Amino acid sequence: MSLQSVPQEQTTLMKTCPLCEETYKSKDICVVENREDAQLYHVTCHSCNYAMLTFVLASENGMGSIGLLTDLHADDVHRLRGKSPITHDDILTFHTLLKRNRLIV
């Protein structure tokens, strides 16, 4: 099964906000990444303004989705997608910088 062959309405498995239970509107949904067998959506509830990243995967066995509440806006997801993760060294460097500038004790 390919997501390209499934209508858009059926690929959005989450129809309502898990927090306020308001039904999503089409303008609430932004496609972040679209592949033949998987899609990544950013959804912002028009009622409570909570955001969610939803990963939808299709295979020969069917379709499934995973949702994650987030504080990222859709443009943040686009901007940060594919960036390298923060490392332990990055955190230690940042801590040293804060300490040197006396922003922490």
pLDDT tens column, 58-77: 888 888 889 999 999 989 99
88 lies in a domain? Answer: yes
Q: Is the pTM of this model over 0.75?
A: no
91 lies in a domain? Answer: yes
Q: Domain range spanning residue 58? A: 3-100
Greater confidence, 54 or 5? 54
Q: How far apart are CA 87 and CA 94, in angstroms?
A: 11
Closest-CA residue to 28 (of 2, 55, 50)? 50
84 lies in a domain? Answer: yes
- Looking at the predicted structure, is the pLDDT value of residue 12 above 50? no
| Helix residue spans in 14-87 (DSSP H) | 74-80
pLDDT at residue number 63: 86
pLDDT band at 6 (very low <50, low <70, confident <90, very high): very low
Find the angle CA(88)-CA(93)-CA(98) to the nearest 5 degrees: 125
Q: Which residues contact 55 (CB under 8 A, 6 or more apart)?
A: 38, 39, 40, 41, 65, 66, 67
For the chain, how many structural domains are there in total? 1
